[in-house]
Amino acid sequence: MKVVICGAGLVGYHIARYLAGAGHEVTVVDQRPELVQKIGESLDIRGLVGHAAHPSTLEQAGAEDADMLIAVTHVDEVNMVACQVAHSLFGVPTKIARVREQDYLKPRWRALFRRSHLPIDVVISPEVEVARAVALRLEVPGSLNVISFVDDKVRLVALRCLAETPIVETPLGGLTTLFPDLHVFVVAIARGERFFLPGPEDMLLAGDEVQIVVDSAHLNRVLPAFGYEVRESERVVIVGGGNIGLYLAQELESRHPALNLKVVERDGERATLVAERLKRAIVLEGDAREREILEEAHVGAAEAVVAVTNNEEVNVMVGLLAKQLGCRRAMVLYNNPNYRRLIEAIDVDVGINPREITVSRILQHVRRGRITSVHTLRDGEAEAFEAEALETSPVVGRPLRDLRLARTVVIGAVVRRGEVLMPRGDTVIAPGDRVVGVARGEAVKRVEQLFAVRADYF
């Protein structure tokens, strides 16, 4: 597949890296020569200096025979016009645009992106996607990440193994014996710098970050096995009243009407606007780096503080202060990839990376075969996926043990006619099954092949 990416920033760079690694032909366009040079040298792909919305630039980038254009520059209007030019002049079949300004996305203007107006096939709003991702994590005690699959029948949950976790140092193959009626499957483990897909002889150790695939209906019964008390958040403090903070507050108000919710915003004018748009939350004006403000927000009594300002240093500092004051859980937003290891090393519970969330949303529209959902894990080391098996898919009719996945792909759940099944070696995938699993980066092609369909199927 031939893809033109407009924008060589962090999101554009990582999309290009993933697509080039999967064997696609990629061209990246940006006005900044230093970024184009960097992306060309480090990824060995074609880079072009130019304005992404100009017809001549897109022509040079090969839009005439491109299968897809992904516009992720820092300017919404450039992204939208690039999609319009790609459609009107070059007939690019699929066009994806990142749009941050929510005024474009209001329901009353939903006709804007119709094919006869601004022909954009997929509009990605990073702020909304991040808010939804954080809301999911707040619902699961102790979770580092939560991803929903198959209409939320299945979830992938990342947890930190504690010293008191009951199942540490137990071979994973024995979990079925210990919990025969629980639908849970360990699909990946991060141990220090090592990330691997485990086999039945592997065991969990204290300090491990473990990724589990679990039947959503069993989640509250699974969490105690990993040492986490099941309790619904009653008090949450959001620091930062920007777009992400506002959307998160609105999402939480909608999902949890009884939640005691406070928002701390430094700018007085923005604080007033946020207060007007929220129904029940209390909005405090002030700098959350000041202890008095956090005490006024009763952070010490909160189940979670979520720091989502535009300054990642402020977010980390607020997270540390909140933990010192007694907050159970600190979640902080960061953009610099170097912050992931820092956050893991200090007393902050969860790091939220908007770039990874945005890339995941875009990739699910790029993967071939019947891959319906894709989420990157640990900065691209692996991908969690949902796929649909059709009659002619190579995965159908064969026991999983015969697929020879060899620790590069782990199937965590199979959903058949609405029922969640935990896979075993003798499990046979049937047409119509929805399959949830994790694949290492180098094995993504293998997953696409397993769920591909012959052209004559249609």
- Cα dist from 265 to 118, 148, 212, 245, 351, whole Å: 35, 30, 35, 9, 20
Arithmetic mean of pLDDT, 229-254: 91
pLDDT digits (tens, 9 = 90+) for 328-360: 999 999 988 778 778 877 878 999 988 888 888
Q: Output the CA angle 139-247-289, nearest 5 degrees.
A: 85
Residue 453: its pLDDT value, please?
63
In total, the chain counts a number of residues equal to 458
Band the pLDDT of 115: cuts 50, 70, 90. confident
Band the pLDDT of 72: cuts 50, 70, 90. very high
Residue 433: its pLDDT value, please?
95
Among the ranges 98-102, 172-176, 301-305, which has the highest mean pLDDT value?
301-305
pLDDT exceeds cutoff 50 at 37: yes
Cβ contact 224:140 at 8 Å:
no
- Cα dist from 394 to 186, 388, 420, whole Å: 25, 12, 21
Residue 430: its pLDDT value, please?
95
Arithmetic mean of pLDDT, 151-167: 91
Average pLDDT, the chain: 90
| CATH architecture group of domain 143-226 | 2-Layer Sandwich (3.30)
Arithmetic mean of pLDDT, 300-326: 95
Higher per-residue confidence, 257 vs 177: 257
CA 45 to chain centre: 25
Residue ranges of domains in the chain: 2-124, 143-226, 235-357, 363-457
363-457 under CATH 3.20.20.80, yes or no: no
Tokens of 400: 């999983």
Residue 52: its pLDDT value, please?
96
Tokens of 42: 């480090």
Question: How many other C-beta atoms are found inside a 10 Å radius of the C-beta of residue 456?
Answer: 6
Question: Among 38-42, 122-126, 253-257, 450-454, which stretch is predicted with the lowest mean pLDDT?
Answer: 450-454
- Which amino acid, one-letter code, is at 36? V
CA 257 to chain centre: 25
Residue 90: its pLDDT value, please?
96
| φ/ψ bin of 220: left (φ > 0), alpha (ψ from -120 to 50), beta (otherwise) | alpha
Name residues whose C-beta falls within 8 Å of residue 130's C-beta, 6 or more positions apart in sequence.
244, 248, 308, 333, 352, 354, 357
Residue 308: its pLDDT value, please?
96
pLDDT digits (tens, 9 = 90+) for 266-306: 999 999 999 999 999 999 999 999 999 999 999 999 999 99
Q: Are strands 350-352 and 409-416 parallel, antiparallel or unpaired?
A: unpaired
Exposed/middle/buried for residue 109 (C-beta within 10 Å: 0-12, 13-18, 19+): exposed
DSSP characters over 246-301 = HHHHHHHHHH-TT-EEEEEESSHHHHHHHHHH-SS-EEEES-TTSHHHHHHTTGGG
What is the rounded distance in angstroms from the CA atom of residue 172 to the CA atom of residue 204? 8
Higher per-residue confidence, 144 vs 372: 144
What is the rounded distance in angstroms from the CA atom of residue 43 to the CA atom of residue 203? 36
DSSP characters over 173-240 = GGHHHHSTT--EEEEEEEETTEEE---TT-B--TT-EEEEEEEGGGHHHHGGGGT-------EEEEE-
pLDDT exceeds cutoff 90 at 21: no
| CATH architecture group of domain 2-124 | 3-Layer(aba) Sandwich (3.40)
The continuous run of DSSP H or E covering 35 comes out as helix 33-43
Full-model pTM = 0.84
DSSP characters over 92-156 = -SEEEEE---GGGG-GGGGGGGSTTSS--SEEE-HHHHHHHHHHHHHHSTTEEEEEEETTTTEEE
Band the pLDDT of 73: cuts 50, 70, 90. very high
pLDDT exceeds cutoff 60 at 156: yes
Arithmetic mean of pLDDT, 119-138: 91
Q: Tell me if 235-357 shares its fold with 363-457.
A: no
pLDDT exceeds cutoff 60 at 369: no
What is the rounded distance in angstroms from the CA atom of residue 161 to the CA atom of residue 450? 33
Residue 367: its pLDDT value, please?
62
Band the pLDDT of 365: cuts 50, 70, 90. confident
pLDDT digits (tens, 9 = 90+) for 184-222: 999 999 998 899 999 889 999 999 999 999 999 999 988
Band the pLDDT of 456: cuts 50, 70, 90. very low
Residue 314: its pLDDT value, please?
95
Residue in 1, 140, 18 with CA at minimum distance from that of residue 72? 18
What is the rounded distance in angstroms from the CA atom of residue 332 to the CA atom of residue 112? 34
CATH of domain 235-357: 3.40.50.720
What is the rounded distance in angstroms from the CA atom of residue 280 to the CA atom of residue 249? 10
In the sheet where 194-196 sits, what is the strand order? Answer: 143-149, 154-160, 209-215, 184-191, 194-196
Cβ contact 315:346 at 8 Å:
no
pLDDT exceeds cutoff 70 at 159: yes
Tokens of 340: 């992931």
Arithmetic mean of pLDDT, 317-328: 94
